């Protein structure tokens, strides 16, 4: 008798063999939590020490040089701001906006949270003289 696994949370698994057109997979249980039947890989997330690749209402004119790597010995997760849209309404307030969200990842690189979208003013129009 064989058991079919249709989904492995987080992609943790070891390919053992391919037989008769099917993969036989053995789970790497060293990365699994004891949270019951969900068996989601357990990662670390500490927002007080994690890499912060974020900005709130504006961005400095110089590039942010902070980095994050999953294999860093001090990896406690990462939070980063990503732009999701650029909006300009020529018939409305005539302001160029950037829509952004913060994405939070645990130490295993798994996305654990996405914030609500927020609006940042990029540029405003001025009267030409």
> How many Å from the N-terminal Cα to the C-terminal Cα in the chain?
82
Is the pTM of the predicted complex or chain greater than 0.85?
no
What tens digit of pLDDT does each residue of 57-105 get?
776 778 888 888 888 888 888 999 999 999 998 888 889 999 999 999 9
Whether 50 and 109 have beta carbons less than 8 Å apart is answered as no
Residue bearing tokens 């990503």: 82
CB count within 10 Å of CB 78 equals: 24
Comparing 84 with 8, the larger pLDDT belongs to 84
């Amino acid at each position: 008798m064989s058991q079919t696994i249709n989904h492995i949370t987080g992609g943790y698994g070891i390919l053992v063999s391919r037989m008769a057109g099917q993969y036989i997979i053995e789970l790497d249980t060293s990365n699994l939590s004891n949270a019951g039947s969900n068996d989601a890989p357990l990662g670390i997330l500490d927002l007080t020490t994690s890499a912060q690749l974020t900005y709130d209402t504006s961005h400095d004119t110089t590039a942010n040089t902070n980095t994050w790597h999953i294999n860093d010995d001090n990896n406690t997760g990462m939070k980063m701001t990503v732009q999701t849209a650029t909006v300009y309404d020529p018939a409305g307030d005539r302001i160029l906006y950037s829509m952004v969200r913060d994405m939070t990842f645990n130490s295993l690189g798994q996305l654990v949270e996405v914030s609500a979208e927020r609006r940042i003013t990029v540029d405003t129009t001025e009267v030409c003289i």
